[in-house]
Structure 1
């Protein structure tokens, strides 16, 4: 019987929402739009796990590197493939050269046939780039004719730059893993990484911090038009409904708004899903087909949003007395109590406390305690902010007309003002905590590179069939190259085959050799033995005068040049120094004149380049030269630090999510602001009719926004710093505050609010007209 009564009252409230005339429709649409934005972002979030899984699955399906497998013999089902990945203006370009060796050679995903030699099949994004003016430099690097495009199944994102080109004679270049013979695509033995507890903590906190503001905005959206609704409900009391029935009818109205919000949200999500293919955020792009929410999570959103709308409405009306002759809300409300509001953040801290000091060495974190603790701390912001706003504005009195109008309005409806900024406060608090956590543990996932970027900024590794000296001359003539350090290297052993002791051999001109050793003097034809290397125990025994050694000895089935060389009398000694890669080399140094040409045939070349950064696109000019001189070379750009790929991925995911949440915050705040202005239309018109200047009213609206947001950001900073310190303690990291990041986060929050306030001024000016008092 009670369930039937609830159902009847909720249905009646929903009917009132759809049959309240123009005013009711405007309120319903505002509620539906606000809830819809939140639902769309929730659906996008539920689709993320599937998008990540599909991207990874497609990347695994096209895997072609052979790191540990045995070399395969040529057969009817084999394909020779070369990895010629490159970079163009900070964007990765995935490139492969292919030569099928039989009718059953494996075809990569996304292709229906192999490209002929001299032609290539490209991704749609790469085709668009190559056909534009921005792709002029890249066209020089890819001298192939485009004959088709790679299908979606062969790409991990809509903006991925990738191509497959046909080639001849690749079998002679086989040198795994860059050039290899394969008989299938896909990773035969995918590696499973051990879960890093700190990275798991980061992932959990990122999801909670990004989704919490969404929930706050949905809760605020279902209360749009609350004051007018309460006054309208008084009429229901007049015709005989009791207080419980009145509250259930109000919940029915909120339920209708939330159901409309689900429809809007589904539409927004489908629209965003289609637009996803045209957007790339922080280097990540997806196809619409990736964005399929998990049915279970989507069902959870569909049930949770209407249920939350009903609960929020009933909770909001608990302190409102709706009587037949009016609503007892315009009287001075009872002061808010602080004690229960403090229980929420304290309970959150209590849940996180048992995990202090865990992490890399002391065990994993309990996911439920992490999510619950962070959630309670952030919910504490929404609970404390109304009390803070009410307490502060109650003590604000003296000031100009605009200030007094704003303060008086805040004193009468501090809860409404707090609801407007709750979401931004929660987002800023979470962002500050995350920034502290990322900064605190970044050192564990970032290490200093040994590469000396002050001496060289790029490195080009040459295959053994490319002569180093001519290649170095080409790089030296490249625009933007300031200095070229060219070396070739191999080994020297005591036997032709499978030597028992061996040592490194480095070949270069005198200028290049001085980059790896302190030479007493140098001229062409000199040979040096190095002292002071990091790891070198065999060289002293090998460097005995008169001993015969073998350059490039053979190992196993690999055939070397096995060139015999006799250690001369009076071999010069040189002291090793750190080379551009940060290594102290050992072994022997040869000037090019001391080594016969045939002996250097199997040596591999390394070229280090110092660039002139004032030259635009200098790295890409170097890559173009490398593609021309040695198509199978691997140009690398050096960096002072190296960061964990998974850590970088989580941080990138945070940036993508934060961008979406900020867009939601801005849109929802704008809707909320417009709803507030619509509620006060007659009041604004009355003030204008009595001669209040529009500038004064505009300034009062600004103060009404600025005061709560200032208090909200202050509270967010305190909670964010507290949460950040606790998370760092949990990760066993040193607690430190990056004040620049804290100020940046609060500044972004304030900037969003100021932008929204500025966008709401035009409708405010239209509302400030005396004819707004006219009624029908």
Structure 2
């Protein structure tokens, strides 16, 4: 057959789709909406590389750390910059104090000038927040006059909270701790980014798991209304068209719906793209300009979706015999074979098996094998589920009327029921595998800080040790504070120049030192020897005893490596008392000397770093905000952190956040696609449902039958998804060289979410069901 004939048949099918009257339009609209939602999500995925690169470019351009241990010399082109980032409840605020040291001082990206002292440039979102009546405490913390706006060149997203404020009298910190001297913004030492093989593998799996349900939904959407379509095609056989011609015409109808779906999907994507600039999802916002799809990937979507619509239709019609007098679909079907369906997951396992045990120490994972292996395993669900549904419903014994109606319907069209829940099953299986993978490798990216949030909820690092006492007293008087503990620390070594500085000296009054150790008695002027729970750490007890031996001079802030130090001697008393370390100490690794203020040499004071530990009243909602305000008044460049028991890798957090955002989008797509599918099935059966009501069947019975028709396939689908998901998760954990553990609570939660989506969709279909079962539904034209 010629290509021209093929194109003519496809074109005829497309004309039927758009000119075939109300039935044709409804079917085309359903197909287009289903395909359009999938296309919108696919286009969003193709835009993700642009989001990542756009945000990375901004982050790199506004980098303001020199990573230099040596203070930089002052010049007419230098700028002093202090990091004053803070939090407002659950939102992070990026703040900088800027002091130009000459007329050529650099201007940060997004700013058109440097603010004068007392002035502030803010991002649009921060301007909006400061103008709200609820932000009174934040306005007290940022008492600067707003004189300008930061543009998008300096922001990661439109909802990011950022400010630049003018300052005077900043002092550069040694080692670039809090105050930097800059000649330009940007990374001064760009290094090739090291890629964690396990994280890269996780990124691939996330993309495959999130996109696979979309592909399943699109494949199901192009088959909406296929029973009515096939009956219409019987008329073409009556006027002389052969079987292949009718198949090509059917493919043309699906092609038309897919093409309209492409347009709808592009429209939904553009609308969502504009909306992205005004919403925050899990703390992240994006500029619409970042959401530009990759031209190559967008072209691939534009080609693959219509081609898939044609291919899926041709494959689906192999089991349908269209004759001039009707469609032979309801005859006893050939039993589905199992052997070839098992080949798909087995092939996926075969591709992944060579990478088991690879972990991080054997190079990168083969991206092609990872992608293909996960795809085949998830595709195996779509192949196995129709067989499983067919086998189970064939053995069910219909008893109540609603159950009988549901079972009989499933026995006649188990393939349709399986198609409806395929996407849910694939999504749940992928979610279970991802949950296992993230939980299994979490220990490599989430470290235990050892901090006890019950002992202190906040830690304040001061830029000047001399402010520790007054600052601790001021914090203690702050609303919502129960207690504050002020301590100052410096390094302690055995020699003036020590290659390793393993110990520390901690200065504080007796009450503060008792927060670290059990002191027998204490008065100002006392000194104590404290060895931590690790018994001297890697250096051992003998090194500790040598450093703190009676009559020997230890050295506060010794020089080590290329770092200069004060090397102030402190004589170890012959009566130095050894004290026991508190298990709930505020300082986890304090090993060395505990010194009261009168016992500290005056020359060592410049080496001290001040810290304040704060216990707040958790019953007061804004207790931490009051503490941040007081700390900002005492020391504008103090660093305030919340005490947490764990610390998480930023890359791991970003990947997990991206996964949750993507999973939310897929979940919305699942619900919307299922709703469209259910409505389409009810529309197909409206005359049958009306006839049942006319013969006396109660609407409640029909409602329960619809629920059973959804519940049975989804139960089987979720069971299969749990098996495949746990298996895939176990394989991925073995590939990551992590211990295989199954959190059954998470598995049950995820399967429950999938079941809940189907139940919610079924309940939403009940009002249309009641309308379709009216006697008017028996009318025909």
TM-score, normalised by the number of residues in structure 1: 0.94
The 1:141/1:232 distance shift into structure 2, 3 A limit, reads same
Corresponding residue for residue 638 of structure 1: 643
Give yes or no for contact 1:451–1:639 (8 Å, CA) kept in 2.
Answer: yes
Q: Where do residues 250-261 of structure 1 align in structure 2 (5 Å cutoff)?
A: 250-261=250-261
Corresponding residue for residue 282 of structure 1: 282
| Structure 1 residue 474 displacement after superposition | 1.0
Structure 1 window deviating more from structure 2 (720-729 vs 57-66): it is: 720-729
Corresponding residue for residue 184 of structure 1: 184
1:25 equivalent to 2:38? Answer: no
Corresponding residue for residue 368 of structure 1: 368
Corresponding residue for residue 6 of structure 2: 6
Corresponding residue for residue 651 of structure 1: 656
State how far apart, in whole Å, the 1-side matches of 2:389 and 2:16 are: 33
- In structure 2, the residue corresponding to 1:170 is in which secondary structure? coil
State how far apart, in whole Å, the 1-side matches of 2:355 and 2:270 are: 40
Corresponding residue for residue 720 of structure 2: 715
State how far apart, in whole Å, the 2-side matches of 1:501 and 1:325 are: 92
State how far apart, in whole Å, the 1-side matches of 2:249 and 2:690 are: 31
Give yes or no for contact 1:577–1:584 (8 Å, CA) kept in 2.
Answer: no
1:691 equivalent to 2:696? Answer: yes
| Structure 1 residue 94 displacement after superposition | 0.5
Q: Where do residues 685-764 of structure 1 align in structure 2 (5 Å cutoff)?
A: 685-764=690-769
Corresponding residue for residue 586 of structure 1: 592
Cα deviation 1:416-438 (Å, max 9, x = unaligned): 11111110011011111111111
State how far apart, in whole Å, the 2-side matches of 1:548 and 1:370 are: 60
State how far apart, in whole Å, the 1-side matches of 2:452 and 2:36 are: 53
Corresponding residue for residue 65 of structure 1: 65
Q: Where do residues 44-443 of structure 1 align in structure 2 (5 Å cutoff)?
A: 44-68=44-68, 70-171=70-171, 176-443=176-443
State how far apart, in whole Å, the 1-side matches of 2:423 and 2:556 are: 70
Give yes or no for contact 1:673–1:760 (8 Å, CA) kept in 2.
Answer: yes
Cα deviation 1:107-127 (Å, max 9, x = unaligned): 111111222211211112222
The 1:398/1:557 distance shift into structure 2, 3 A limit, reads closer
Q: CA RMSD in A?
A: 2.5
The 1:568/1:117 distance shift into structure 2, 3 A limit, reads same
State how far apart, in whole Å, the 2-side matches of 1:491 and 1:746 are: 53
Corresponding residue for residue 463 of structure 1: 463
State how far apart, in whole Å, the 2-side matches of 1:583 and 1:492 are: 13
1:610 equivalent to 2:635? Answer: no
The 1:633/1:25 distance shift into structure 2, 3 A limit, reads same
| Structure 1 residue 232 displacement after superposition | 0.4
Give yes or no for contact 1:66–1:177 (8 Å, CA) kept in 2.
Answer: no
State how far apart, in whole Å, the 2-side matches of 1:113 and 1:711 are: 64
| Structure 1 residue 499 displacement after superposition | 8.2
The 1:574/1:564 distance shift into structure 2, 3 A limit, reads same
TM-score, normalised by the number of residues in structure 2: 0.94
The 1:194/1:260 distance shift into structure 2, 3 A limit, reads same
| Structure 1 residue 446 displacement after superposition | 2.2
State how far apart, in whole Å, the 2-side matches of 1:440 and 1:595 are: 48
- In structure 1, the residue corresponding to 2:76 is in which secondary structure? coil
- In structure 1, the residue corresponding to 2:528 is in which secondary structure? strand
Cα deviation 1:256-308 (Å, max 9, x = unaligned): 11000100000000001011112222222111111011000000000000000
| Structure 1 residue 551 displacement after superposition | 6.1
Structure 1 window deviating more from structure 2 (125-134 vs 696-705): it is: 125-134
| Structure 1 residue 251 displacement after superposition | 0.5
Structure 1 window deviating more from structure 2 (4-13 vs 498-507): it is: 498-507
State how far apart, in whole Å, the 2-side matches of 1:567 and 1:328 are: 99
State how far apart, in whole Å, the 1-side matches of 2:494 and 2:444 are: 43
State how far apart, in whole Å, the 1-side matches of 2:216 and 2:87 are: 42
Give yes or no for contact 1:48–1:291 (8 Å, CA) kept in 2.
Answer: yes
State how far apart, in whole Å, the 1-side matches of 2:560 and 2:772 are: 86
| Structure 1 residue 450 displacement after superposition | 3.1
**Is there any run of 5+ residues in structure 2 with no aligned partner, and where?**
none
- In structure 1, the residue corresponding to 2:765 is in which secondary structure? helix
| Structure 1 residue 501 displacement after superposition | 10
State how far apart, in whole Å, the 2-side matches of 1:680 and 1:202 are: 44
| Structure 1 residue 596 displacement after superposition | 7.3
| Structure 1 residue 466 displacement after superposition | 4.2
The 1:90/1:296 distance shift into structure 2, 3 A limit, reads same
Give yes or no for contact 2:66–2:188 (8 Å, CA) kept in 1.
Answer: no
- Alignment partner for residue 619 of structure 1, among 614, 624, 629? 624
Structure 1 window deviating more from structure 2 (41-50 vs 685-694): it is: 685-694
Corresponding residue for residue 444 of structure 2: 444
